[in-house]
Structure 1
């Protein structure tokens, strides 16, 4: 292989440095653009577009719906029937009536089927809006946003006392590290070290409390790049899709275990809801 002369070597170094600098600047510019957007809207929290979804969720929550023609106002999210204030900040958690650990979305699904009489298969036929066709948020996304925002300003503090809560956290940690799929990826591939990114997106290190808290304390969030409010079930599904894995079942024990582990990592995170991200 031919050796580079000194001028050629210096030129190659200069080009490489220029490319790295340009990428870093693009990344900084992109972050600044989102920060500017956040400042213009989320800086005035009443201007966050996700609040429109929250309002719709409140209407759906209090409306008499389903085959039984009742509202969700008697749903127990862990603090007693009908109590939504602070409930999201203490989820995922164990529920005696289902004998399993549930996150917000899987609990909503339980209440919609048990209280309102909806068929679970019908509710989960489509659970996420598609930004490619400017589709509005699905009903269950709006409901989740409404319930979650009732924990705004509180600290994330999911219980970890029941044996099944401890089991879910431990299982979630195993899943976080488990490599699988055609790309041989795990959650930890992207989210277990500082300074990682995919394309120009900075990736949080969920093994540090700071990054875990920043993420878990701000979802559901309005995603600027989607133009939609997104919940953590969508974040789990989207990560699995990006790893080219089969679709993650909505509200599945697998997704709940991952969320139990991540919430445990983010314990005491200040809840700033709804959030706003790229």
Structure 2
């Protein structure tokens, strides 16, 4: 990141993602209109305490879902099961706001991938996906983000691809987006078939990226070019 982008991320009054955080805080304390009247706070009280470190451990295995899930999927699981409300659409403003607000409570804490067997298996599958060439350009994630990190592609710096700041505000998007949005952008960029949000391959990639970023501090909400 450039010094200006780093400064924008560090200073909350300049970080545009804080608008989504403010919306997420309001949603946390508000029961969905189609719910049983419970808000997130009704079960979890003050997010600053109850959600501390939670986002740093996703993706993880969920017994109710019977699979490894992401933080956004956990939020929707709570809506469906605890609040009896409709799931929020993937990449919707409300879901991103709640995800960013929950993830903010782990800012500064180390990424701590879940050690359950199912999540470790998902991460292993994700690592294989990360190193597999795909698309008409026949490129893998690793070729850019491992082998050529720090170099430039079409004038843009190639990052190492760590996922410790999502959801992020991306200047290119002029808005907040999820890690899966970024993964799908990359897949589209190499002219590969793009899976839908929540697809197993995307969850597996998230699990591997969490393992790859283990120990790095959570930076949500990040700012990127």
Q: Normalized against structure 2, the TM-score is what?
A: 0.85
C-alpha deviations, 1:35-76, integer Å up to 9, x for none? 22543x334333211111001011112211153243234678
User: Paired residue for 2:205?
Assistant: 258
Residues of 2 paired with 1:183 and 1:66: CA distance? 46
The question of 1:104 aligning with 2:71 is answered yes
Residues of 2 paired with 1:75 and 1:177: CA distance? 41
The question of 1:229 aligning with 2:176 is answered yes
Match of 2:32 among 35, 41, 65: 65
Residues of 1 paired with 2:134 and 2:16: CA distance? 36
The question of 1:168 aligning with 2:168 is answered no
Any conservation in 2 of the 1:216–1:269 contact (CA below 8 Å)?
Answer: no
Residues of 1 paired with 2:77 and 2:14: CA distance? 32
Any conservation in 2 of the 1:153–1:271 contact (CA below 8 Å)?
Answer: yes
User: Paired residue for 1:198?
Assistant: 153
Match of 1:187 among 105, 129, 141: 141
Q: In structure 2, do the counterparts of structure 1 residues 86 and 107 end up closer, same or farther at CA, with 3 Å as the change threshold? A: same
Q: Normalized against structure 1, the TM-score is what?
A: 0.70
Secondary structure of 1:276 counterpart: strand
Match of 2:107 among 146, 149, 152: 152
Q: In structure 2, do the counterparts of structure 1 residues 75 and 249 end up closer, same or farther at CA, with 3 Å as the change threshold? A: farther
Any conservation in 1 of the 2:132–2:140 contact (CA below 8 Å)?
Answer: yes
Residues of 1 paired with 2:43 and 2:175: CA distance? 26
Any conservation in 2 of the 1:75–1:111 contact (CA below 8 Å)?
Answer: no
Secondary structure of 1:222 counterpart: strand
| Unmatched 5+ stretches in structure 1 | 1-30, 77-81, 129-136, 207-214
Residues of 1 paired with 2:202 and 2:33: CA distance? 26
Secondary structure of 1:146 counterpart: helix
Q: In structure 2, do the counterparts of structure 1 residues 116 and 233 end up closer, same or farther at CA, with 3 Å as the change threshold? A: farther
Secondary structure of 1:229 counterpart: strand
Residues of 1 paired with 2:224 and 2:99: CA distance? 18
Secondary structure of 1:254 counterpart: helix
Q: In structure 2, do the counterparts of structure 1 residues 251 and 75 end up closer, same or farther at CA, with 3 Å as the change threshold? A: farther
Q: In structure 2, do the counterparts of structure 1 residues 177 and 37 end up closer, same or farther at CA, with 3 Å as the change threshold? A: closer
Residues of 1 paired with 2:142 and 2:42: CA distance? 39
Match of 2:16 among 49, 52, 58: 49
Secondary structure of 1:47 counterpart: coil
User: How many residue pairs were aligned?
Assistant: 219
Indicate the structure whose relative CO is greater, using CA pairs within 8 Å and at least 6 residues apart.
2
Any conservation in 1 of the 2:9–2:221 contact (CA below 8 Å)?
Answer: no
Q: CA RMSD in A?
A: 2.4
Q: In structure 2, do the counterparts of structure 1 residues 260 and 228 end up closer, same or farther at CA, with 3 Å as the change threshold? A: same
Any conservation in 2 of the 1:86–1:154 contact (CA below 8 Å)?
Answer: yes
